[in-house]
Amino acid sequence: MAYMLQAAQLGKTVTTAAGDLTILKDINLSVAKGESLAITGASGSGKSTLLGLLAGLDVPTTGRVELAGINLGELDEEGRARVRAEHVGFVFQSFQLLPGLTALENVMLPLELVGDAKARQRASEYLERVGLAARLGHYPPQLSGGEQQRVAIARAFACEPDILFADEPTGNLDSSTGHTINDLLFGLNEEAGTTLVLITHEERLANRCARQLQLAGGELMIASAEAIA
C-alpha cells in the first residue's frame, strides 16, 4: 500500500522560560493515498503542533516525517517549501486570507506563484464551485466568515494538492455554516481524490473521516483499531 504520509517516533520539545516543555511524544502514524484522517483532542493537546510537523511547516525534535515519499528530515527549509508547493494544501481555522486582495486574487495567488498562465480562469472556476461566482471582486472584510472559509477552500483546491491539511476549518463558524463548509470540503476531496488530514474537536466531523486518532497530553490514544496500519 502506498502511503501519502508517514510519521515515526515523532516528538516536539520546546524551550520556554519555565524550562523544557514536551508538546508531542512518540507519535507514529501513516496515511494512505486518498485516505482521510481526523485528529481529535482537547485544547492544548498538541493537535496544531502535530499538523505543523506533518505538513513540514515546522521541524520535529525527534523522529521522522515522510511526505509523498520524501523524507522531510533530510531537507532544509527551501526543500520543504518545494515539497509544500508541489504536494500540500491548507485550510486554516482563521481563514488566512489577505485582506488587501479580492476573493479572486486570493485564490489566484498560489497559482501565480508557480507561474500558472491560466491562474485567473482556474481561480474563478474554483470560486464558482464553492458558490461564490458573484463575489469575485469582493474583499475579505466584505465577506461573512463562512464565505471567507469557502474562498480559502477554493484556494486550497485550486492548486490541486495531493494532500490537504485542515486545522479546525469550522472552528470559527456556527454549526449550520460549518456543516455547509464540511460538505464542500468532503465533496471536493472525493472528487479530486485528495488525501485529507483534518483537525477537529467535533465528533460529527471526525466521524466523516475514514480514520480517527485522538491526542491527549501530546500522545496518541488508539481511537480506532487500525490507527497504525
Nearest Cα residue to 172 out of 139, 202, 134 = 202
Rounded Cα distance, 26 and 53, in Å: 13
Stretch that binds another protein, among 20-28, 61-69, 94-102, 214-222 (CB under 8 A): 94-102
117 contacts another protein (rule: CB under 8 A):
no
Residue 48: CB atoms within 10 A of its CB come to 19
44 binds, among another protein, Mg ion, ligand ATP, none (CB under 5 to 8 A by kind): ligand ATP
Rounded Cα distance, 203 and 213, in Å: 12
| Residues 9-28, mask of contacts with ligand ATP (x by CB under 6 A) | -----x-x----x-x-----
Q: Which of 25, 47, 122, 211 binds ligand ATP (CB under 6 A)?
A: 47
Instruction: Name the strands in the sheet holding 211-216, side by side, starting at the edge strand that comes first in the sequence.
Output: 88-91, 163-167, 195-199, 36-41, 211-216, 219-221
21 binds, among Mg ion, ligand ATP, another protein, none (CB under 5 to 8 A by kind): ligand ATP
Closest to ligand ATP by CB, 39 vs 111, is: 39
Nearest Cα residue to 200 out of 187, 192, 188, 223 = 223
223 binds, among ligand ATP, Mg ion, another protein, none (CB under 5 to 8 A by kind): none
Q: Specify whether the CB–CB gap between 4 and 164 falls below 8 A.
A: no
Q: Which three cell numbers stand for residue 216?
A: 491527549
Closest to another protein by CB, 19 vs 99, is: 99
CA torsion sign for 69, 72, 78, 83 is positive
| Residues 44-63, mask of contacts with Mg ion (x by CB under 5 A) | ----x---------------
Q: Which three cell numbers stand for residue 117?
A: 498562465
Q: Which residues in this chain contact another protein in the complex, by CB under 8 A?
A: 48, 51-52, 55, 57-58, 77-78, 81-86, 88, 90, 92, 94, 96, 98-101, 105, 109-110, 112-113, 141, 159, 167
Residues of this chain that bind ligand ATP (CB under 6 A): 14, 16, 21, 23, 41, 43-49
Residues near Mg ion (CB under 5 A): 48
